[in-house]
Each structure stands twice: as C-alpha cells, then as structure tokens.
Structure 1
Amino acid sequence: MSQKKTLYSSMDEMLEASEFAGRPAHDLVREIQELYLENEKPWVIGFSGGKDSTTVLSLVYVALTGLPATKRHKHIYVISSDTLVETPMVVDMINDSIEAINKNAEQQRLPISAHVVYPAWNETFWVNLLGKGYPAPTQNFRWCTERMKIDPVSAFIKDKIARFGEVIVVLGARSQESSSRAQVIAKHKIEGSSLSRHSSLPGAFTYMPIEDWTFDEVWMYLLGAPAPWGGDHFELFELYKDSSAGECPLVIDTNTPSCGNSRFGCWTCTVVTKDRAIEGLINSGEVWLKKLKSFRNKLFKTTLPENKNEFRNFKRRTGRIQYARGAIDNDNIAEIKTIPGPYLLEYRKQWLKELLTIEKNLIAEGRKIQLIHPEELHAIRKEWMFDPNEPDWSDELPKIYHSVYGEDLDWVEHDSGAFSQADADLIDELSAENGVPAELVMKLLELELSMDGLSRRKGLFNKIESLLKNDWGSMEDIQAAKAAATHTSDFKNKLKNELKADSTDLHLKSVYDEQLKALTKEYEALS
C-alpha cells in the first residue's frame, strides 16, 4: 500500500470542496444519483483499470453509497476486458481492484459486482496468430479488436439486454482525449438528455459523466481522496508516470478508438512501431519486460512489406492465391502481385517454442505469469492438425511443449487425428512419383475421414470439387498452370467469335458446336 497521503481525508470532504469542468463535484454526484433512480435499467460500467474509467467507477460508487439502502433498487455491473495479452502489471492492478470492489460492495451491501470478460478460446491472440496463422495486427488489418475486445464485452451487454430489456453503459470517455472520440460522443448524443444511443447495440444507452473533464482534473480527483472501495490511486499514478502512457479504453464497438497510441494495452500490439508504454516501464526498472518487448518486436518485423513473403504462405487460408494488380510499368503492362496468406507453419512452431521458453524462464525467476493458456494450446493444436494449406500430421505441438517444460499436458487423444508422420512421408514419396501435390492428397483423405460413418454424405462431391479447385503445388507450378489456362481460354474465345461470325443461320448451331469441340480438343493435344 502506498504511504503517500491524499489532499483530503475523505471523499465527501473533497467533493464538497472541489469543482470539475466548471461544475461543483457534488452536483455531478447528484446527477448520477438522479439518473440511477430515474428508471429500472441496470448499469454496466466499463472498467479498464486506467485513470478515466477508475474515475467514473469511483463517482458512481460514491453516488450509490450516498443513497439510502432502500433506494439502491437496481444492479450495477462492472466489467473489465482481459485480452489475455495485456501488460502484466496492469492485469495485476485490475485484478486487485476488482477483488477490492467485490469485497467492499458485499460489506456495504451495495448492488455492485465486478466481472472480467475474456475472448473465446478459439479467438484469442495466440490461437489466431500461432494457430490460424493470422499475420500480426496492423493499421490496415486490426483483426484483434473485434475478436478480443468488442465481442466479449458485447456478449456481456447483450445478455443483460436480453434479461432486462435495456441497459445503460457507463464509460470513462472524454472529449479531450482525441478529436475522433469527441466526434463519436457528439454524434450519438440524445438532445436534452445526459445519455447517448449506443452505436451498434439496440437497447443500450451510454452515459459519460466526465466527458468534459481535462487530463489534470482526472488526476486531481484520483489523488485528492482515498478510493471509495479502499486504498488509494497512487499505484496507478506511478504506473502512468513510469510508462508515460495512457489507458486503453474499454472498446464496446468499432467506433470506439482502439489502442495503438502508446496506451496501456496488449504487450503484443504491433499496430504501433514502438510500444512506448513497455519501454517506459523498462526504463523505470521493470527490465524483465525486455523479453516480451523483444518477442513483440520480432512479430512487428514480419508486418513490414519487405518481409511478408519470407514469413507468410503464398496461398490464403482458402487454399487459393489471391492476386492484386500492381503498378503500370513503362510498357503500360500492369504487374500482377499476390497477396500473402497466413504465416508459414514452420515459423508458427518456432514462435510457440520461443513463447513457452520465455514463460518458463520468467516463472523460474519467481514471476507469477502465464503468457499462453493450456486451452489455447489445445486450440492451436487442432488448427495445426487441420491447417488448410499445411496439415500437421506429425502433431508437433505436444512435442514442442514437452521439449520446453519436460512434461505433458492432458492432450486429448482424438486430437491427433488418424494419420501419422509415417503416413505423411509415404504420401510425399508417392506424390513425387505421380506428380500429385501431397497436400491435396492429405486434404482429400481428411475429408473422407470426416464423412466416414455418416448415413448421408450430403455435399461430399461439392467439397471434393472445392478442394480440387484450390491452388496446389509450388508457386511456379501454379503460375505456369494459370498462364496455360489463360492461353487456352483466349484461344477458345477467339475461336468462338470466328465461328459465330460464320454461323448466322440457327441451323448451323450444331455444326458450330461440333467444330468447336474438335478444334479445342486438337489444340489441347498440341499444347
């Protein structure tokens, strides 16, 4: 616990003496109380653990304790979103706060409960990046925000809407934080009300009690009096001071500004060039974070345009090459470029081993930390086994884990599939002899196994056709086949046009069709 003293001995004393955004503090508390008593809509407070959301939670907490017990008629849910890759010190601080809030609320018999929401196990950062091979997030492909933040929070809010009809979401958003945030706040404001309409959740309204506060006013409030649930906010202040960072807002929709501006957020974030929050913490003495920073920087380098083709498959997860037209050269010919797909499996395996090694070493140093969870490892294993481009029949993940920790997890037996490395080696050998891509044969066998035993194998031929239409073989083979197909297609179109020009009589249609078939067959034989 911090030994520093607050300016006022109690929250009541500070509220009576203070003014924020040109408004007496006790007047804002009264507004919160009136809004709470106005209807039966339960409240959901977004709590990220940072300065703004902590301020809002504190104000609501004070307002509720100021009401008679008989008037505390509806529940207030406090939710914090943990992406499972948050900055470790922030996670510890949030967990301590949530524990203190729940304990104090129970003691004071307040209708408040704090909860942590997580992404689904098949949508975590590591399952998407290491399992599915998603490239590290960038400004143009920030796949993490929706899967890891919006979806878990939205699911919680939707559950409350389903139960109560409507809810009020209380947020620590401030107009001064950014111009984009100010625009979002103004856009959804309800005229004559302190509420705004939620941009994407019908039945949800938002309330932002400190939207007009300045940065200095937020800290003046937090450092002016003890926290209403116990303790103070000096630890939070020291964390901000050491990292020179801001907080990551609780993201509730795609309009909410996400992280990526040296804010506290995911230590794996590659949207920014440098993670100044982590660097600030390292410079303040948390040197152990260098291991996480180094790993994050390695992922960031894979997002650079000059490195993409080295780390990523030339095919997308659909099994096909996606083309993008490049610039026009001096001969007025457009350069055809390919859009790289997921990370190659060899790199995903390498990075998983590095991540587990970092985790093991940190634990050996006495740090209570978990960088990747067993549930994620099980999900990644499944993704590798049935990867659309590089199925891992050798089942490498359990071997990687054992090589690092010297022990095994409780691996599910059927996860390993029906094929082994010996089967894969045999298919490689036969494929080389017969000129058939090994991966195609493996995917066809997997399809057959998945349909085995079904009384109705509906859609089997469509699935086989879909697999056969994928791009198989090396990039050179695929490009050569595409060129040949294009040449043949051009010949057919030219032939059709020439024959049609001579086939003005409808009675000649059958003759035209026969000529076309014969000539096409002859051309293909020559090709």
Structure 2
Amino acid sequence: MAGNVTLDRATLANRIREIQDVYRSDARPWVIGFSGGKDSTCTLQLVWNALSALPEIERVKPVYVISSDTLVETPVISRYIDETLARISAAALKQGLPVTTHKVSPNTERSFWVNLIGRGYPAPTRRFRWCTERLKIEPANDFIRSRVAEFGEVVMVLGVRSGESATRAQVMSLHRIKDSPLSRHSSLLNAFVYAPIEAFTTDDVWTYLLQNASPWGNDNRQLSQMYRNAAGGECPLVVDTTTPSCGNSRFGCWVCTVVMRDKSMEAMIDAGEEWMQPLLDFRDLLAETQAPEAKLRYREFKRRSGHVSFIDGTDRPAPGPYTLDFCKTLLERLLATQIELQRSAPPGEDTLLIHDAELHEIRRLWRTERGDWSDSVPAIVGRALGRDLDWVAEDEVALGAEAGALLQEVCAEHGVPVDLVVQLLDVERASHGLKRRNAVHARIEEVLRREWRPLDVVVEERRRKLGEAGLTAPDGPVGKERDDRAPLLPFPETEDAAP
C-alpha cells in the first residue's frame, strides 16, 4: 500500500474485500492488537465488519483480540478497556464470530514496581525505555509464540499507520512480502504482520469511526471525547522496539516519565477527574529523579554489576540503580497514594496500584540482593495498609537485623566493606550442600573484582588518569553531559534497544 487513502465508499469497499481475501487465503489464525485507542478500534471494527459479511461457513479461522495490561495503566483507561473487551466477547458470541479476547500482562518478576522499587531501575527515559520490553513486548510475544506453537504460523493484525511512525513504516517496507499485503515480522519466527489501515490518515480513522457504529455496542463519540484536549495518541500493541514512545498518550501508563510532562493526565484532571491528582504527583516525583543534578542524590554511584562507569571525558560517575533508602521512600509513597485513591476515587474505579505478589517479590529482592537486613517491606506494608500479607519465613535467606548490626561492627573494626562480606556470604550460602563446588571460586573471584572502594577514592583515581591523558578536570566534570546515552546506561546487561 503506497500513499494515503481517501476514505470514500469505493476505497472502503476495497479495504473490506482485501481483509476478507487475506482472512480466507490460509488457515493461519489472526492476533489483533487492541489498545482501545482510535487506530486499534478502527482496525478491529474494519475486520469485524469484513468477517460479518462473509458466509458463516467461511468464518472458521480463530481471531484473538489481545490487549496489553502493563499493570500501571491509567485507571480510567483500564476500566474503559475492560468494559470494551467484555462487550466484544459478548457481541462476538451473539453474532457468531470466531473472536475471543485476551489480556496479556508481565510476569511478577518483570513488572514495573518489581524493577523500579525492587531492583532499583531508574524511571524510564527516552534513551532507556527498559519498561517497553518488559511490560509490553515480552507479554505480547509470549502470547504470539504460544499461538505459533499451536498452529505453526500466525498473522498479527496491527493498527499501525505509516504516517505515525517513519521507523515502523521503514521496517515493514523492508520485510514486505512481494505481491502480498503481509510483511514478515522483524524478529518473531513464523509470525506475519498485516496492517489494514497502514495508509490511513488520522482524518480517515475518525471519519470511519464516526460514520460507522461500533458493532460491539461502544459509542465512538465517547472515544472521540476521550481524545479531546490531549496532544498525544495511543499505545498500540508493542511487539518490537520500532514502536514510538506513548508517553503523551491517553492510552499509556500513568507512571510514564519518557516525557517531561504528562499532558494527557493533566487534561483528564482538568476535565473533572481530580481524584487522579495523587497519581500525577507520584509520577512527577519519578520525573524529578531524572534531573542531572539530582541523579546521584537518588542513585548509587555503582551499576548493578558492581562496577563504576564514568561519563565520557569527566570524573563524574554514570549513576546506577536507585539507593535502597530511596526505594523504601518510593514504596511508602506508592502505598500512601493507593490509600488516598481508595478514599477519593469514584465507585468502580480500580485503585489497586501494586499487587501482593509484587510486594513479596520486592521483599525477596531486597533481602537477597540489596542487604535489607531489617526486612523492611513487611513493616512498611503493615504501617500503610494495616494488614499482614502472610509473609514467607526466610530465616536462611538473608541476615537479620541483629546479625547485620554485628557484621557492621566487625567490618568497621577491620576496615572491610560490609557489602563485600555480605556478597561473599551469599556465594557460600548458594553453594552450601552442593556435592560439586568447583564453580564457587569463580563466583568469589567475580565478587572480588567489583568496585568496593569509597566514591572519593574512585573519583580521585579517575582524575589522575584524566590528568595523565591531558584531560584534567580540576573543577569537577568536564565535557558534555551524556549520562543517558546508550554506552553509559546503568544496567548494561539489560539495555533497551530503543533508538
């Protein structure tokens, strides 16, 4: 498909016929990405009407409508999508269409809060969108792979338009199958992509939606109203990193910090959803941690790998994960925000911001990886929520508060970093009881190779090396600030492939 379409009656009839032809051409099931926004709604409605016009005997190939729930969706949109999916299921059953709906979500260990508060990942930025892969790409791809395993091949029907993403348009063009409306997926084997509205303009999309009633009973004028007074669009089904950020979108995550201001949530609050103000306040707190002058106030000077990296040409460390103390503050603020929402939100709104399973995983990470000897999570949760989560006893997993205090005293006496001893104890604990312990020496060596010296000592050594190279920095960092560039990401083992 080349160029933009003019959505007259003949063009629309041709598009319907093409959808029918592609559907009937093989036995590959369809997976339609549905975000609830205008593009995905237009795509699903076109497909629905095309299939409805086919004889019932030809409507046999399954169509899976999947919606991505990141678990940090804007509550108003989350409710809207849940209601819409329920209507789609009921209408498909009543009208005899082979359409089923499915929500895909990240596993607990990949969730936003487990990564941000548990592991200390910094709030996402435009150059480090670690959230996209974990919250959207992986859950959607897991579903698609399961269908590939069942059927051999699948066709993904996406509401993407070439006018919205030049990168996506280029990728689809490169993978286009000759003399076919399909493209090969850029990374998923045995998955093909079909974009029936690829050449539509924004006006084409709205023209179709406002002139054609929703076949599952939604009011497309309500959808149009949701877009008013907002600068952004929607978050489509994300299955690769060519999809642009949806930080300005009404159909995105309420915690998104890829943009400086969340104009969409601000517009919702101005339009009467004042109860969402605590969400915006928490989101703005995360955005504040991205200021260059504030990063080392909230974050470690070492990366999660235990090593220190410096900004090119300077003696300034590239910040690593949030400190454990700040993660505790974030958890306290998050739970307080949840309580405030429960008091002020209208009936029926989903005010659960963090699930119990995520709290259990955060506790495990703090205890086993971050030296939380005082076992802070149960105490924080108890104070905020006033209830117990039936915490798992972990006597052998980490040091208790009393043992931690004793270890600090002994390490201070001998001038040994506490964290170094803790990690060596973890290596021994992990190897205890094994018949073959030949790998323990390598793990001990890996721990010892990490940076254990104080920050001032590390910086002084860096300055000496800069001086030897003729790049002295007597008054602090020199050179251009490049803290978020790809080579300097705080978690090199999990770099996002975003452009």
TM-score category (smaller protein): 0.7 to 0.9
Instruction: Kindly indicate whether residue 342 of structure 2 is the aligned counterpart of residue 360 of structure 1.
Output: no
Unmatched segments (≥5 aa) in structure 1: 1-17, 327-334, 487-527
Following TM superposition, by how much is the alpha carbon of 1:260 offset from its aligned partner in structure 2, in angstroms?
2.9
Pairwise CA distance, 1:255: 1.8
8 Å contact from structure 1 (residues 385, 416) kept in 2: no
Aligned to 1:381: 363
What residue is the counterpart of 1:223 in the other structure? 210
Q: Is the 8 A contact 1:21 1:213 kept in 2?
A: no
2: CA distance between counterparts of 1:433 and 1:297?
Answer: 42
Q: Does structure 1 retain, via aligned residues, the 8 Å contact 2:245–2:258? A: no
Distance 1:485 1:212, change over 3 A: closer
Structure 2: distance between partners of 1:143 and 1:22:
43
Measured at CA, do residues 425 and 379 of structure 1 come closer, stay the same or move farther in structure 2, by a change above 3 Å?
same
Structure 1 counterpart of 2:421, from 419, 432, 441:
441
Amino acid at match of 1:300: A
SS in 2 for 1:77: strand
Shift of 1:172: 0.8
Give 2:401's match in structure 1, choosing from 421, 441, 449.
421
Letter aligned with residue 150 of structure 1: I
The structure where helix makes up a greater share of residues is 1
Show CA shifts across 1:82-135 (max 9, x none).
Answer: 111111111111111111111222223321111010112111111111111111
The equivalent residue for 1:506 is: none
TM-score (norm 1): 0.83
Aligned residue type for 1:469: R
The equivalent residue for 1:371 is 353
Alpha-carbon distance between aligned partners in 2 of 1:324 and 1:225, rounded to the nearest angstrom: 55
1:86-125 equivalent positions in 2, closer than 5 A: 86-125=73-112
Counterpart for residue 240 of structure 1: 227
Q: Is the 8 A contact 2:122 2:322 kept in 1?
A: yes
Deviation digits for residues 454-511 of structure 1 (CA, Å, limit 9, x no counterpart): 222231111112112221242134456889999xxxxxxxxxxxxxxxxxxxxxxxxx
Is 1:341–2:320 an aligned residue pair? yes
Is 2:28 aligned against 1:54? no
Q: CA deviation at 1:414?
A: 2.4
The answer on whether the counterparts of 1:184 and 1:256 sit within 8 Å (CA) in structure 2 is no
Pairwise CA RMSD:
2.3
- Provide Cα deviations, 1:265-323, integer angstroms capped at 9, x if missing partner: 11111111111111111111111222111111111111121111111101111122223
- The alignment partner of 1:386 has SS state of helix
1:7-30, CA deviations, whole angstroms, 9 ceiling, x for partnerless residues?
xxxxxxxxxxx9716843233212
Q: TM-score, normalised by structure 2?
A: 0.87
2:237 matched residue in structure 1: 250
CA separation of 1:448/1:480 partners in 2, compared to 1, >3 Å: closer, same or farther? farther
Task: Give distance in 2, aligned partners of 1:69 and 1:22.
Answer: 25
Whether 1:69 and 2:56 are equivalent positions in the alignment is: yes
CA contact (8 A) 2:269 2:276 kept: yes
Matched, 1:395 2:375: yes
Identity %: 47
Question: Displacement of 1:31 after TM fit?
Answer: 1.6
Corresponding residue number in structure 2 for 1:282: 269
Q: Deviations over 1:361-386 (max 9, x none)?
A: 21122443111111111111111112
What SS does structure 2 have at the residue aligned with 1:201?
coil
Which residue among 443, 455, 460 is the counterpart of 1:475? 455
Aligned to 2:7: 20
Please say which of residues 141-150 and 181-190 is displaced more in the overlay: 181-190
Structure 1 position 55, deviation (Å):
0.7
Instruction: Note the residue ranges of structure 2 that are not aligned, 5 or more in a row.
Output: 467-499
| Residue aligned with 2:127, SS | coil
Letter in 2 for 1:138: T
The whole-number CA distance in structure 1 between the counterparts of 2:396 and 2:379 is 12
Whether 1:160 aligns to 2:139 is no
